[in-house]
């Protein structure tokens, strides 16, 4: 069989043969390998790297089509483009497959990579394959360990004992980011429970302000939705910390409040039952046994309640008295301390000053347990909005206003008003009183301005096998010894003989020889940390590894980072809006502080693609959706890539039922046949070509760059379709296939198409008499003399209805246009004897004539 497509029928568009031919040739040419000495301007284009799941699926196909359009476009604009590929190859699926099928996670992973690589190569993304990395290679994860050690040195990696999210199916802890809003695991779907464990954390909360404030730099370059999600996730609240002295305890209780102005309305304190503070309070000798027993029972009940339920404002309030009392920092009043599950242990300080008159949760609680309620804001005297008119000589109390008694109405007064019952704060507005209250507390050494965040520290230890070992050795006395940098990597042991089944502790603990090591100081028996790192650590800095992927002396080359990073265009799914992007932003800032990079945001621009849906739901093999492999076999790579661009704006979901790969094939065949039909040589004189066709071509050249750069791929493809149609007309009915304008148009189609449908573009380019590859040729610049419009269409309306239209020069005078309109045969015949009342002329496009009916 010949390797030349269509040897017999030159017009037949045989996409299978074209694919086979070019895939092999491109592979030999190594087209997209970046030359480090190349001095042209640079662009770093990156798609979120894949987890090696085997074959490519529809979601991959969309992601890499869109990213590749961008990469190929910039290359054709003369940029030196880095477009790398690697594999996020640590993680649970390998391990779960290993348990289910008894295979080695390593073998499973690397076999998948091989398979996926083959599918990728057929799909033709313009990758620099020399960058290929696997995060599960020791050459990569060594640098995860290095990063851990750097964090550890800076005090940003630490171990603590705390309540963590526990996935009872996968038997591992989860980061907060991995718990879905309905309280289930984003991995296994199991309902997440709380478990107390000693775990490693990265101190992302130290960076909360910067992570929040730097989002402003990304405004307009990241999707607004992602920015909003990140802002919410970090969740900064501004207010004050207030200290309450506890009777019989030297340490005060600190609470965080956003409403220090309501300090005189505090009537009790509430602590989170599952906080250490609560346990300590009831452990005091002064607390009687019955109170302690009631607390213990309540704690058990709290631990069985999900976070979501605890935050549900509508749930009836429950709680127990701790037997202890606090003193008000200003009035000295004695106030009971309660424990209730609506207060969360890990927000603020795990304790609140309850202001039942003005906070609904506190009010509900006070009404259940009959605690005092004190109004300190008069919301009948609002500071903004409708101010009640108080007659001369009267006071607000003389007005007949509805009673605002939260105790009887059950509605807390959250609105604005003037302070009352608040000593020195009386009469102030909220904003004013917040300031004054903070000053008052500061004077007494009992409080200060404070901020708190929803963001928690990043829990990075996992009790699973297939991940990066944590480079720490634990001495018998509990001392932590970081593994020295020159002893990295701490290699993952072989899985053979290990029980990988989830059991709540890491399988690495069972690798006796691996785990037992001499204490680095005195040689006594010590143990390696047996947990592995969250795989989001791997992906938090991988974009830097691509810059010097084979460097075995450092994680990445800072010089290359200065040249290439940050990533100019990042492309990926919105499912990573929080997790991965937040972690990568955090690690970038840490690397900046350590002096390794000179920028603080990793991804200058972000494009989120929508999902590919079938029957309204996300496509997946298990749900019997359409398989990418079948679609590629039936219609070819180019038609599927083209569909991904043509379906609509990239952020929108694609309903596979609404697109037509078959129509894409027909269009590509039409374009291809034009290249076969061209009858002029590459050295024609463009200026001698048909002007009308040249104008269409040059308008495309003029508009396409702006459209590409704003990701309006569907519009660019529609314009290419239009250009193909106009050119076909010129070949069949116009100046014919030998006209230079036809060649110019078809070359433009080949160059433009090669972004979306690289096989077809390349084959057309060859048919046009050029050397491969079309991908490395630049787009022609539009000729301004061809962009001026020769004429515009003027429309004549009579009483609002169009009666005639004709071509006029764009610069026509209003008087001349009116004369043409009045002279129009169609208009004269329509008006007949009727009287013209008014003529409005909007040159050059419209004449409006009003007549008597
Ligand atoms: C007194 C007060 C009076 C409050 C008032 C509100 C209104 P955001 O905006 O979400 O940050 N709070 C503090 N720590 C808490 C915890 N660990 N669990 C549950 N609630 C907690 O909410 C801050 C407010 O939530 C704080 O301000 C505190 O109640 C409560 F009229 O203090 B406030």
pLDDT digits (tens, 9 = 90+) for 8-50: 788 999 999 999 999 999 999 989 999 878 999 999 999 999 9
* DSSP codes joined into one string, 512-555: HHHHEEE-TTT--EEEE---EE-HHHHTTSHHHHTTSTT-SSSS
What average pLDDT does the segment 63-67 reach? Answer: 97
Lowest mean pLDDT among 326-340, 357-371, 415-429, 742-756: 415-429
Tell me how far apart the alpha carbons of residues 490 and 472 are, in angstroms, rounded to a whole number: 9
Q: What whole-number distance in Å separates Cα of residue 225 and Cα of residue 229?
A: 6
Question: CB of 357 within 8 A of CB of 245?
Answer: no
Q: What is the pLDDT of residue 292?
A: 97
Tell the residue nearest (CA) to atom 27 of ligand 1: 257
- Within 8 A by CB and 6+ apart from 265, the residues are 355, 356, 357, 358, 374, 375, 376, 377, 421, 422
Q: Give the pLDDT of residue 2.
A: 43
Tell me what percent of the residues of the chain surpass a pLDDT of 70.
Answer: 96
Q: What is the pLDDT of residue 1?
A: 41
Strand ranges of the sheet holding 458-459, from the earlier edge strand across to the other edge: 172-174, 157-167, 193-202, 458-459
Q: Which atom of ligand 1 is nearest to the CA of 265?
A: 3
How far away, in angstroms, is 258 Cα from ligand 1 center? 6
Place of tokens 């030196």: 80
Average pLDDT for 842-850: 93
Cα–Cα distance for residue pair 836/356, rounded to 1 Å: 76
Residue with CA closest to ligand 1 atom 25: 257
Radius of gyration for the chain, computed over Cα atoms and rounded to the nearest angstrom: 35
Q: What is the pLDDT of residue 403?
A: 47
**Is residue 647 predicted with pLDDT exceeding 80?**
yes
Is the omega angle on the peptide bond into residue 377 within 30 degrees of 0, that is, cis? Answer: no
Question: Ligand 1 centre from 315 Cα, in Å?
Answer: 17
Question: Per mean pLDDT, which range of 5-9, 225-229, 551-555, 616-620 is the poorest?
Answer: 5-9
Tokens of 466: 């297939």
User: 361 CA distance to ligand 1 centroid (A)?
Assistant: 9
Return the ligand 1 atom nearest residue 414 CA.
31
CA dist list (Å): 328 to 12, 253, 396, 447: 88, 11, 29, 12
Answer whether 746's CB lies under 8 Å from 768's CB.
yes
Residue of minimum CA distance from atom 29 in ligand 1: 257
- CA nearest ligand 1 atom 28, residue: 257
How far apart are the CA of 256 and the centre of ligand 1, in A? 7
What stretches of 370-465 show up as alpha helix (H) in DSSP? 406-409, 430-443
Q: How far is the CA of 434 from the centre of ligand 1 (A)?
A: 14
Assigned token pair, 774:
């079309």
Pocket residues: Cβ below 6 A from ligand 1? 237, 256-259, 262, 272, 343-344, 347-348, 350, 352-353, 355, 358-359, 452
Of 258, 259, 342, 430, the residue with max ligand 1 atoms within 8 A of its CB, to mutate for a pocket test, comes to 258
Ranking 493-502, 691-700, 771-780 by mean pLDDT, the lowest is 493-502
Q: Measured from the CA of 239, which atom of ligand 1 is nearest? A: 27
HEC string of 176-222 equals HHHECCCCEECCCCCECEEEEEEEEEECHHHHHHHHHHHHHHHECCE
pLDDT at 528 over 70: yes
Q: Which residue owns the Cα nearest ligand 1 atom 7?
A: 359
Q: Which atom of ligand 1 is nearest to the CA of 351?
A: 17
Q: What is the pLDDT of residue 624?
A: 56
DSSP 390: P
CB 182 within 8 A of CB 622: no
pLDDT digits (tens, 9 = 90+) for 223-264: 999 999 999 999 999 999 999 999 999 999 999 999 999 999
Q: In whole angstroms, how far apart are CA 519 and each of 469, 473, 483, 527, 532? A: 18, 8, 11, 8, 20
- Compute the distance from residue 373 Cα to the ligand 1 centre, in Å: 17
Pocket-testing residue among 347, 365, 417, 449, ligand 1, by greatest number of atoms within 8 A of Cβ: 347
pLDDT given at position 335: 98
β partners of residue 256:
241
Which pLDDT does position 3 carry in this prediction? 47
Helix (H, G, I), strand (E, B) or coil at 243: strand
Instruction: Classify residue 614 by burial, with Cβ atoms within 10 Å: 0-12, 13-18, 19+.
Output: middle
Q: Is the pLDDT of residue 395 over 90?
A: no
pLDDT score, position 167: 87
Spacing, Cα 362 to ligand 1 middle (Å): 10
Contact 309, 192 (CB under 8 A): no
State pLDDT tens for residues 554-603: 999 999 999 999 999 999 998 888 899 999 999 999 999 999 999 999 99
Rounded to the nearest angstrom, the distance between the alpha carbon of 455 and the centre of ligand 1 is 16
The dihedrals phi and psi of 251, each to the nearest 5 degrees, come to: -80, 130
How far apart CA 510 and CA 48 sit, in angstroms, is 34
Above 80 in pLDDT, residue 4? Answer: no
pLDDT digits (tens, 9 = 90+) for 674-699: 999 999 999 999 999 999 999 999 99
List, edge to edge, every strand of the sheet that includes 654-655. 617-618, 612-614, 654-655
Looking at ligand 1, which residue's alpha carbon is closest to its atom 26? 257
Question: What is the 329 CA–ligand 1 centroid distance (Å)?
Answer: 18
| pLDDT, average across residues 521-550 | 96
> What average pLDDT is seen over the chain?
92
By CB neighbour count within 10 A (0-12 exposed, 13-18 middle, 19+ buried), where does 654 fall?
A: buried
What separation in Å is there between the alpha carbon of 296 and the centre of ligand 1? 25
Q: Whole-angstrom Cα distance, residue 299 to residue 775?
A: 66
Q: Which atom of ligand 1 is nearest to the CA of 345?
A: 17
Q: What separation in angstroms does the CA of 320 have from each of 237, 269, 470, 475, 805? A: 28, 12, 41, 41, 84
The answer to whether the beta carbons of residues 492 and 529 sit under 8 Å apart is no
What is residue 358's predicted lDDT score, i.e. its pLDDT? 96
CA dist., res. 796 & res. 174, Å (int): 69
For residue 381, pLDDT beyond 80: no
Closest C-alpha residue for ligand 1 atom 19: 343
Whether the predicted pLDDT of 478 surpasses 70: yes
pLDDT digits (tens, 9 = 90+) for 170-220: 888 887 778 888 888 888 889 888 888 899 999 999 999 999 999 999 999
pLDDT of res. 253: 97
In 3D, which of 813, 807, 811, 803 has the Cα closest to residue 849?
A: 803
> If you measure from the C-alpha of residue 453 to the centroid of ligand 1, how many angstroms do you get, rounded to a whole number?
12
Instruction: Give the model's confidence band at 98: pLDDT under 50 very low, under 70 low, under 90 confident, else very high.
Output: confident
Give the residue-averaged pLDDT of 314-336. Answer: 97
Using the mean position of ligand 1's atoms as its centre, give its distance from the Cα of residue 104 in Å: 50
Backbone dihedral region of 468: left (phi > 0), alpha (psi from -120 to 50 degrees) or beta?
beta
Average pLDDT score over residue span 500-516? 88
The three-state secondary structure class of 469 is strand
Q: Inform me whether the pLDDT recorded for 75 exceeds 60.
A: yes
């Amino acid at each position: 069989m010949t390797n030349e497509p269509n040897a017999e029928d030159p017009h037949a568009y045989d996409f299978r043969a074209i694919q086979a031919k070019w895939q092999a040739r491109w592979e030999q040419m190594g087209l997209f390998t970046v030359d480090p000495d190349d001095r042209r301007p640079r662009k770093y284009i990156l798609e979120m790297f894949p987890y090696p799941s085997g074959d490519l699926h529809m979601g991959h196909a969309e992601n890499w089509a869109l990213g590749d359009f961008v990469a190929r476009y910039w290359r054709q604009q003369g940029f030196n483009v880095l477009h790398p590929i690697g594999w996020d190859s640590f993680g649970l699926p390998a391990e779960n497959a290993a348990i289910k099928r008894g295979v080695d996670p390593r073998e499973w992973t690397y076999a998948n990579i091989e398979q996926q690589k083959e599918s990728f190569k057929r799909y033709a993304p313009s990758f620099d394959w020399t960058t290929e990395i696997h995060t599960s290679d020791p050459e990569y994860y060594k640098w995860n360990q290095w990063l851990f050690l750097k964090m550890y040195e800076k005090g940003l990696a630490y171990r603590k004992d705390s309540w963590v999210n526990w996935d009872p199916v996968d038997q591992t802890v989860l980061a907060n980011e991995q718990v879905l809003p309905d309280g289930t695991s984003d991995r296994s779907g199991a309902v997440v429970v709380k478990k107390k464990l000693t775990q490693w954390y990265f101190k992302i909360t130290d960076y909360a302000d910067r992570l929040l404030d730097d989002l402003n730099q990304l405004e307009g370059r990241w999707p607004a939705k992602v920015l909003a999600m990140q802002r919410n996730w970090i969740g900064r609240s501004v207010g004050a910390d207030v200290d309450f002295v506890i009777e019989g305890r030297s340490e005060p209780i600190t609470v965080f409040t956003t409403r220090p102005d309501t300090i005189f309305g505090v009537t009790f304190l509430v602590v989170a039952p599952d906080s250490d503070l609560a346990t300590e309070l009831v452990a005091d000798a002064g607390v009687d046994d019955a109170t302690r027993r009631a607390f213990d029972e309540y704690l058990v009940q709290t631990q069985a309640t999900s976070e979501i339920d605890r935050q549900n404002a509508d749930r009836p309030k429950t709680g127990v008295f701790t037997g202890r009392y606090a003193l008000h920092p200003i009035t000295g009043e004695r106030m009971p301390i309660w424990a209730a599950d609506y207060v969360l242990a890990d927000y603020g300080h795990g304790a609140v000053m309850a202001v039942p008159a003005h906070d609904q949760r506190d009010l509900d609680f006070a009404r259940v347990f009959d605690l005092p309620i004190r109004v300190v804001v008069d919301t009948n005297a609002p500071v903004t909005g409708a101010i009640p008119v108080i007659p001369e000589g009267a006071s607000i109390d003389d007005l007949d206003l509805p009673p605002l008694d939260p105790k009887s109405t059950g509605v807390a007064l959250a609105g604005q008003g003037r302070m009352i019952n608040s000593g020195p704060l009386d009469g102030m507005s909220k904003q004013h009183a917040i300031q004054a209250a903070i000053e008052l507390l500061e004077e007494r050494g009992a409080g200060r301005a404070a901020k708190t965040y929803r963001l928690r520290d990043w829990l990075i230890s996992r009790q699973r096998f297939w991940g990066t070992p944590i480079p720490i050795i634990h001495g018998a006395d509990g001392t932590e010894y970081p593994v020295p940098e020159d002893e990295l990597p701490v290699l993952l042991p072989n899985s053979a003989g290990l029980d990988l089944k989830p059991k709540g502790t890491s399988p690495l603990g069972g690798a006796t020889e691996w785990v037992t090591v001499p204490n680095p100081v005195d040689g006594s028996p010590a143990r390696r940390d047996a947990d592995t790192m969250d795989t989001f650590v791997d992906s938090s800095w991988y974009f830097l590894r691509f810059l010097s992927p084979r460097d075995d002396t450092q994680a990445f080359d800072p010089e290359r980072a200065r040249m290439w990073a940050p990533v100019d265009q990042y492309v990926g799914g919105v499912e990573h809006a929080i997790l991965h992007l937040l972690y990568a932003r955090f690690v970038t800032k840490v690397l900046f502080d350590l002096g390794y990079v000179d920028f603080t945001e990793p991804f200058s621009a972000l494009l989120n693609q929508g999902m590919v849906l079938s029957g309204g739901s996300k496509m997946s093999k298990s749900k019997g959706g359409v398989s990418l492999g079948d679609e590629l076999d039936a219609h070819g790579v180019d038609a599927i890539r083209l569909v991904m661009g043509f379906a609509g704006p990239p952020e929108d979901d694609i309903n596979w039922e609404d697109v037509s790969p078959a129509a894409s094939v027909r269009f590509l065949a039409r374009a291809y046949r034009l290249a076969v039909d061209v009858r002029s040589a590459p050295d024609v004189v463009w200026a001698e070509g048909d002007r009308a066709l040249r104008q269409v071509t040059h308008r495309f050249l003029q508009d396409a760059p702006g459209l590409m750069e704003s990701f309006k791929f569907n519009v660019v493809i529609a314009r290419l379709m239009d250009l193909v149609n106009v050119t076909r007309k010129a070949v069949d009915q116009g100046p014919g296939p030998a006209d230079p304008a036809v060649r110019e148009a078809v070359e433009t189609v080949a160059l433009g198409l090669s972004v979306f449908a690289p096989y077809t573009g390349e084959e057309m380019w060859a048919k046009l008499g050029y050397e491969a590859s079309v991908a490395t040729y630049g787009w022609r610049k539009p000729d301004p003399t061809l962009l001026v419009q020769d004429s515009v269409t003027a429309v004549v309306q009579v009483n609002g209805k169009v009666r005639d239209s004709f071509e006029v020069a764009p610069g026509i005078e209003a008087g001349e246009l009116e004369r043409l309109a009045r002279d129009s045969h169609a208009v004269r015949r329509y008006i007949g004897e009727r009287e013209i009342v008014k003529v409005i002329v909007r040159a050059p496009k419209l004449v409006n004539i009003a007549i008597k009916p």
